[in-house]
Amino acid sequence: MKNYNSIIIGSGLGGLIAGATLALWGKKVIVLEQHYIAGGCATAFKRKDYLMEVGLHEIDGLNETDPKRPILELLGVFEEVEFLKVPEFYHLKKQNFQCTLHHGAEAKAKLIADFPDSKVEIERFFELINRLYTEMRRLPRSKWLNILLYPLMPFLIPTIIKTSTMNVGKWLDANIKNEALKNVLTANLGYYTDDPYNLSLMYFLMAQGSYLNGGGNFVKGGSQSLSNYLVRFIEKRGGQVLTGKFVEEILVENNQAVGVSYRDTFNTSAAKQSLYADTVVANAAQPIVAQMLPEPYRSKLAQKVAPLELACSLLTIYLGFNTDLKKLGVNHYSTIIQGQKDYKLKDVKADSQGDWAQKSFTFVNYGRIDAQLAPEGKTVAVICAVDYLKEWEGLSEAEYQQKKERVAQLFLTRLEAEFPTILEYLECYEVATAKTIKRYTLNPQGTPYGYVQSVKQTYPKRDKLTASPLKNLYFASAWAPSGGGYSGAIYSGFMTASKMKTQVKWHNYPPSTLADERCVKLLAKEFIAHNTILLTFEKPKDLQYKAGQYAVLRLNNPRYTELDMPLRPLSMVSHPDEDTLQFAMRLSDSSFKKSVVEMAIGDTATIFAPMGNFTLKGKNKRIVFLASGIGITPVLPMLKTLEQQQFAGEVVVFYSNKTEASAAFHNDLQHSTLANYTYLPVFTATQKRLNTDFLKEHLHTLTDCDYYIVGTNSFTKAMQELLLKENVPATTIFKDDFGG
């Protein structure tokens, strides 16, 4: 039985815009997202005091002539979401040369001032952009009118036709002599792809022209604010957005998409569910969608898109600085740093695929605007460079982490060479690779851009290349005709909804809400140590997990939201056999923690679980836990499991805290029923920190144990290095992957 007008697979901007538009038009919509956060690349995550922006550096245009503006106005976006104009397009910096490319009316004039001998060429470039935009506005919106006018197109839209058949590199080489000027005009090519000689001139001019004429903008509070607004918009109009739901199948009857089957992304023991609708919108890559279809549609779509070339990916290093970077001479919002001295347009592709120590990168200082990503006096920034999944394939987890750190240090060293002493203020950093993007978005090759906007794959050809193989299945994403980026996703979502409005035979369905059984009530909360709280929730139906695993706890109605996300990964303190679910955490001044303190009994949260592989391996007869602070939480259920198994081997718990008052579960840890159990608390306010001598004193032999390490990153790293130095086999050292 059908219950919805449209099921949307994925909550990236394309899916959310399509869903919001359909909801505005009175359609009953449900969005199913496999990740526990809605937004796709338009999301954020919290590290220490910093709200890390995942994807957005700047979104183009939003001026009065920008075609995105009426879409966002229609959805009321500007009423609740603030867009901040960034100071300039970007600043290019390389050895013995630097230049700032500006936005708006002053862009052309300042560029001519920097390159007076190239005035005619610069004016030609801007004139081509203006002609292209004029012709784009002339294009008829009706498909049938397009067909009727097709013979006249060479006369009506000559610039569109010319630029759609030429690549960027070829045009620039033919029309601009100054190599430095070509370099300046294309320095941000990584916004789109990795090769000017494989990028459609039409696509480049449309995108670049929108930045140059309309300026660049950042969403205040991060792009998650835009995603959150669209979720609320859908829900206020009777729709629903469910995260942590993985669609496995698109259901087909009589050559039409009629619904989907899905499961819980994390709790694989939960039963598969099916939903039915008039239409299905896939906010996902076509190769992924193909795997959801039955035959013959699966093969038909897979074979159709198989020849299409995928775009590059990105490596991003998220940075938190405990100072205002302007004090260190970082005077630009976006600085593009090129490593090769004689960098030319023909070198772009080789540079993108070259040595990390020389590869060009963009450094974005969000502190140049009121981004609301960090407390006053601190700054969020990112380093971003072109990346490829092949760089990270075939590596073990240890090798992958080591390579990430090596690459990060190369870029950080280069950053400090440009801005001396900057690393003295670096408080935290995190590296995301093409593999990271693939993990969280599922995109093939980890590309956020979809298919390359090459001459062969750009409008109008792209429309046919990416068309749906069956009725009532639509695409709205970076993989659809309008392409990647925030603008492409917004256009895609709206154009898809507009097409559906006239093509679909809609039905009326009564209002209803799909019950989310992961939504549970708070049953109790208590302080169990200094500044440490224990929360007891109802246990979600059908939740099964192993001792040591963790969950993501999302507060459904947080009282505070400033500079934070309403969720945290937390180890499950309760044992899998217990009827309730418990979490313990240290308190702080973060909005999430303050909201937790003020939760009332009966308030609800949503549980995404189970996650992680920090579980008992059962390899050795001697088990050693090395824990610090609140990291003790997964150890409690692991000890209970060993008690249930009547484990007869030796079990030793080393637990480090500053004081006894701050040691959570200190009393519980003293009363285990294990046959050969030793509990060794270490209070660093009065004792030495855990070291080799202390371990040897109590374990005697270190090489015949299984070690489970859990605590802060610095504690975990120190303990692992200590053990490896003592020739403990790496295969017997298990680190907590909490939050990983």
C-alpha separations of 614 from 133, 551, 578 in Å: 55, 12, 19
Contact 4, 509 (CB under 8 A): yes
pLDDT over threshold 60, residue 435? yes
Residue 75's SS3 state is coil
pLDDT of amino acid 466? 79
CATH architecture of 4-56+222-309+448-503: 3-Layer(bba) Sandwich (3.50)
pLDDT of amino acid 739? 47
pLDDT of amino acid 147? 44
Q: Hey, CA dihedral for 222, 226, 229, 235, is it positive or negative?
A: negative
| 132 Cβ neighbours under 8 A, 6+ residues apart | 159, 160, 163, 202, 205, 206, 209
% of the chain beyond a pLDDT of 90: 89
Q: Which two tokens stand for residue 334?
A: 């976006």
pLDDT of amino acid 339? 80
What is the mean pLDDT of the segment spanning 310-317? 97
pTM: predicted TM-score of the whole model, two decimal places = 0.95
C-alpha separations of 569 from 12, 111, 482, 618, 634 in Å: 22, 48, 35, 25, 12
**CATH topology assigned to domain 622-735:** Rossmann fold (3.40.50)
pLDDT over threshold 80, residue 436? yes
What is the mean pLDDT of the segment spanning 305-321? 97
pLDDT over threshold 80, residue 143? no
Query: What are 240-289's pLDDT values in tens digits?
Result: 999 999 999 999 999 999 999 999 999 998 999 999 999 999 999 999 99
pLDDT over threshold 90, residue 482? no
pLDDT of amino acid 153? 46
Question: Which residue in 143, 147, 21 sits closest to 498, CA to CA?
Answer: 21
pLDDT over threshold 90, residue 614? yes
Query: What are 345-392's pLDDT values in tens digits?
Result: 999 999 999 999 999 999 999 999 999 999 999 999 999 999 999 999
What is the mean pLDDT of the segment spanning 607-617? 96
% of the chain beyond a pLDDT of 70: 97
Question: Which residue in 654, 627, 621 sits closest to 709, CA to CA?
Answer: 627
pLDDT of amino acid 144? 46
Structural domain boundaries in the chain: 4-56+222-309+448-503, 87-215, 313-387+393-432, 519-611, 622-735
pLDDT of amino acid 152? 45
DSSP character string of 166-181: SBHHHHHHHH---HHH
Query: What are 416-431's pLDDT values in tens digits?
Result: 999 999 999 999 999 9
Question: Which residue in 136, 107, 138, 134 sits closest to 123, CA to CA?
Answer: 107
Query: What are 650-677's pLDDT values in tens digits?
Result: 999 999 999 999 999 999 999 999 999 9
pLDDT of amino acid 740? 39
The one-letter amino acid code at 365 reads N
pLDDT of amino acid 486? 95
Q: In angstroms, rounded to a whole number, what is the distance separating the alpha carbons of residues 702 and 410?
A: 35
pLDDT confidence of 155, banded at 50, 70, 90? very low
> Can you identify the CATH homologous superfamily of domain 519-611?
Translation factors (2.40.30.10)
Q: Hey, CA dihedral for 262, 499, 76, 374, is it positive or negative?
A: positive
pLDDT of amino acid 146? 52
pLDDT confidence of 141, banded at 50, 70, 90? low
Query: What are 682-725's pLDDT values in tens digits?
Result: 999 999 999 999 999 999 999 999 999 999 989 999 999 999 99
pLDDT confidence of 463, banded at 50, 70, 90? confident
Range from 116-125, 454-463, 476-485, 631-640 carrying the lowest mean pLDDT? 454-463
pLDDT over threshold 60, residue 151? no
List helix spans (H) across 378-429.
397-418
Q: In angstroms, rounded to a whole number, what is the distance separating the alpha carbons of residues 100 and 336?
A: 10
What is the mean pLDDT of the segment spanning 584-598? 97
pLDDT over threshold 50, residue 148? no
pLDDT of amino acid 282? 98
Q: In angstroms, rounded to a whole number, what is the distance separating the alpha carbons of residues 412 and 718?
A: 22
What is the mean pLDDT of the segment spanning 481-500? 93
